[in-house]
Structures are given as C-alpha cells and as structure tokens.
C-alpha cells in the first residue's frame, strides 16, 4: 500500500473519532480519575495510546517537551502539569479535528492548573517532517503513533534532529515479534488499529540506533494481541542523544557486576562479569545512562569482583526438571548481546525459546527489566510436555 494512502486512511479514521467517539483498541494505562481533575472530558474521550510515556516520572520541571501525534492533547496536558508553568510543551498532529479539540481546551487546562497562561502549543505537521527547530527539545514523548507512520526511519531522524545534545525520548508503541505479512500491510483498518504498521522489536530499536540514539532500553511492556500467530506487544522505550565527547581515555573503570555473565554494548564493546575495564570518555558517558548503569560498578581504580563481593550477581536455575511451555524471551536492551549463567545467548530484539527454569530466572528482579516475555503456544501445555532433567543439557 502506498504511503499517501496509509496516511490518508489513518487521518480520516482519527478525524472521525472526534465526533463518533470510536474506540481505538490500543491498551492504555491512564488514570482518568486523576486526569479528570484538570483535563476536560471531551479530551479524555478521544485519548488513545498503548502506554503512559508521560506518566512514568519521565517529565521533569522546566523542560521543553514535544509530543509526536498529540491527538486531543491528553499527554500534552499531563506534560504541562509536570513541567510546571516555567516549562513548555509542543504537540504535533496531522489531524485538523484533533488539533481543534486540543486548542479549544488548552486555556481551560491552564486555568485548572492555575497557570497565568497555557504553556502548550499545538502545531499541525507530520512525524516525518516536524515543524520544530534543531536541538531545541529536552524530551520527546509519543504514545502509539510512530507505528502509524509509513516512513519510520524518517521519524527517527527527525527526532534526533530536534533533540538537544543530552536530550532523550520516551515512546510507547506497538511492535511485533515477527514480520508483518503482506495481507496485513494492505489492510487499511489494521493500520488504524496500530497493527499493520508495527515493526519487529529488533527493527524498531535498530532504526532508533541508526538515527543516532544510544542507551535504548525498555521501561514498560504489555502483551497486547495475537493475530494469526503474530504477537503484538506494547513496549515503552527510552533512549538518548548523547552529547559529543572526545574519544580519549577517562579515569573511570567499569566492572560488570551481573546478573549477566557477559554483555556487549551498543558500540560493540564486550564486558565479562567481574573484570574491570578502563573506559574512554564516550563509553563512560554511554554506560552512565540509566539503562546501563545498574549493571556496572564504577570506580577510579580497577576493581575486580568475585562471587563473595556484595555487588556480584549470579542467578542460577533450579536443580530440578524443566518443561517447555511455549515461552519466548526477547532481550530489549540496552545490550546488543547478553549471556546468562546457563549458556543462553540473547540477542537484542530476537525471540529465544526458553524452558520453565529459564523463565523463572528471567523473572528475577535483576533480569526482568531487560526482557519482554511472551507465550506462543496456542493452547495450554501440560507440565510433562518436553520434560527433561538438569543433566540432559536441554536448556
């Protein structure tokens, strides 16, 4: 299907929703009771999304925030509350009806927040060509919108262009565990349902990296729908436009503490648990981003770790039989590759079938933030199916 046909179909459907109140089928996590205290009901009725990128303590006071696909304005108005009267929020949308609704209620929101005037501006534009100056935005948010754009690589490039050095994004979107077949790509209704435009997890993250972002990692995950064996997931990603730093040695050492036994970062450098590595300035900046930082011990002198050290983390599977029940794990960053202590090699964005013991390991609080887990079995699998002993080397 041609890009202009997709854009026209999506635009018409969202324009229609303003008057019909049509329910869009993306999962959301809005607390409407809280938002109703300052956002008018007509805005809440046309609020569509697949996550809460503004509500995850993402927005900081005084920042300039941009929302891609602002719709009726719910995320912009929530961001307005969080940045405070000294911050600024810009909403970009291509649908005239949505823009009119958002602009109509902006003064009411400002009055409810007791601001002297609204700090939200709504602009008409496409995600592939945003009417915003270079290097001017602190934070980009988007809620189930980029999957609707035909040219996602251009969207990612635009995001990188408008973010200031040191800026970041938090975007919730629908992704898929495998390629979307042609019959769905040509289905206009499925585009509006946030299905046909979904990229695979690996493709989505790689597109962001190709645009220049680093430190990309998951901060939210919701299983959504399964259509003809394709799993659609709501993922919330954060990533950074790192400030330019010289490629000179720093005085910082980093030691991988675990729970992974070995990892490879987005620049291709590999770290082994317990072994200190001298970092150059660029790598030090990367590893100090929130996605990487919890996995490392940083020091001014090299510190090696052994199992007796309090920072050493190793989570072994139980010494018990296991079973295969249809579970697959997807590494969702920030690492490009990671190894556990049971000979599994996980590659960013690529589903790997796991047994019941490995499932339990990855559900541990130290592993869980790095994975999205789904079950591909079409029906309940008995505990005995595929059962094996710890000595069989099955997993």
pLDDT of residue 53: 84
CA distance 272 to 355: 25
CA distance 171 to 155: 12
CA distances to 325, 326, 373 from 382, rounded to whole Å, are 8, 11, 19
What is the average pLDDT across 136-140? Answer: 98
CA distance 187 to 281: 48
Q: Which of 49-58, 64-73, 208-217, 312-321 has the lowest mean pLDDT?
A: 49-58
CA distance 259 to 134: 39
Which among 54, 64, 253, 235 has a CA at the least distance from the CA of 166? 64
CA distances to 136, 164, 291 from 132, rounded to whole Å, are 8, 12, 28
Residue 249 — left, alpha, or beta (φ > 0 → left; ψ -120 to 50 → alpha)?
beta
Contact 23, 66 (CB under 8 A): no
What fold characterizes domain 3-240? Rossmann fold (3.40.50)
3-state helix, strand, coil in the chain (%, to 5): 30, 30, 45
Query: Which residues in the chain belong to E strands, given as ranges?
Result: 64-68, 88-93, 120-124, 137-143, 163-176, 199-200, 214-227, 230-240, 249-256, 262-264, 270-272, 276-280, 296-299, 327-331, 337-339, 345-347, 352-353, 371-375
Which among 350, 348, 359 has a CA at the least distance from the CA of 326? 359
> Cis omega (within 30 of 0) on the bond before 298?
no
SS3 33: helix
Using pLDDT thresholds of 50, 70 and 90, give the confidence band for residue 240.
very high
Q: Tens digits of per-residue pLDDT, 79-91?
A: 999 999 999 999 9
Which among 176, 291, 151 has a CA at the least distance from the CA of 235? 176
* Cα R_g (the chain), whole angstroms: 22
Beta strands at 345-347 and 270-272: parallel, antiparallel or unpaired = unpaired
% of the chain surpassing 90 pLDDT: 71
Cα-Cα-Cα-Cα torsion 48, 147, 9, 14, nearest 10 degrees, comes to: 10
pLDDT of residue 79: 96
Contact 227, 342 (CB under 8 A): no
pTM check: above 0.75:
yes
Sheet holding 296-299, edge to edge: 276-280, 249-256, 296-299
Using pLDDT thresholds of 50, 70 and 90, give the confidence band for residue 55.
confident
What is the average pLDDT across 101-129? Answer: 97
Could you give the residue range(s) of every CATH 3.40.50.150 domain in the chain?
A: 3-240
What fold characterizes domain 249-299? Ribosomal Protein L9; domain 1 (3.40.5)
What is the average pLDDT across 359-379? Answer: 93
Using pLDDT thresholds of 50, 70 and 90, give the confidence band for residue 15.
very low
CA 314 to chain centre: 26
Which among 140, 85, 74, 161 has a CA at the least distance from the CA of 116? 85
CA distances to 45, 62, 279, 290, 375 from 286, rounded to whole Å, are 40, 25, 10, 9, 33
Q: Is the pLDDT of residue 364 over 50?
A: yes
Q: Using the 8-state DSSP alphabet, how is residue 6 labeled?
A: H
Could you give the residue range(s) of every CATH 3.40.5 domain in the chain?
A: 249-299
């Amino acid at each position: 299907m041609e890009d202009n046909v997709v854009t026209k179909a999506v635009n018409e459907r969202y324009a229609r929703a303003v008057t019909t109140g049509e329910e869009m089928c993306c999962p959301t996590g809005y607390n409407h009771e809280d938002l109703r205290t300052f956002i008018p009901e007509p805005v809440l009725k046309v609020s569509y999304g697949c996550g809460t990128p503004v509500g995850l303590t993402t927005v900081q006071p005084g920042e300039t925030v941009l929302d891609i696909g602002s719709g009726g304005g719910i995320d912009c108005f929530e961001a307005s509350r969080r940045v405070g009267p000294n911050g600024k929020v810009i909403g970009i949308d291509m649908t005239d009806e949505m823009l009119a609704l958002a602009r109509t209620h902006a003064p009411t929101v400002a009055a409810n927040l007791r601001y002297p005037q609204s700090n939200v501006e709504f602009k008409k534009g496409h995600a592939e060509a945003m009417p915003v100056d270079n290097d001017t935005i602190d934070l980009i948010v988007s809620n189930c919108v980029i999957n609707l754009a035909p040219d996602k690589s251009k969207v990612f490039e635009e995001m990188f262009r408008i973010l200031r050095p040191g800026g970041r994004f938090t975007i919730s979107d629908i992704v898929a565990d495998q390629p979307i077949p042609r019959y769905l790509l040509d289905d206009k209704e499925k585009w509006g349902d946030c299905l046909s435009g979904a990229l695979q997890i690996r493709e989505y993250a790689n597109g962001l990296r190709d645009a220049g972002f680093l430190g990309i990692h998951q901060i939210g995950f919701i299983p959504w729908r399964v259509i003809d064996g394709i799993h659609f997931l709501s993922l919330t990603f954060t990533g950074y436009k790192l400030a330019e730093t010289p490629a000179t040695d720093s005085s910082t050492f980093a030691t991988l503490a675990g729970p992974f036994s070995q990892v490879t970062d987005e620049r291709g450098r590999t770290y082994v648990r317990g072994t200190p590595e001298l970092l150059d300035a660029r790598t030090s900046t990367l590893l100090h981003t929130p996605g990487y930082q919890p996995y490392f011990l940083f020091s001014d002198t090299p510190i090696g770790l052994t199992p007796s050290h309090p920072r050493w983390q190793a989570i072994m599977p139980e010494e018990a039989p296991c079973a295969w029940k249809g579970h697959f794990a997807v590494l969702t960053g920030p690492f490009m590759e990671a190894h556990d202590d049971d000979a599994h090699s996980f590659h960013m964005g690529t589903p790997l079938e796991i047994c019941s013991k490995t499932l339990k390991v990855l559900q541990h609080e130290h592993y869980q933030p790095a994975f999205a887990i789904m079950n591909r079995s079409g029906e309940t699998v008995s505990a005995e199916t595929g059962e094996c002993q710890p000595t069989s080397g099955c997993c």
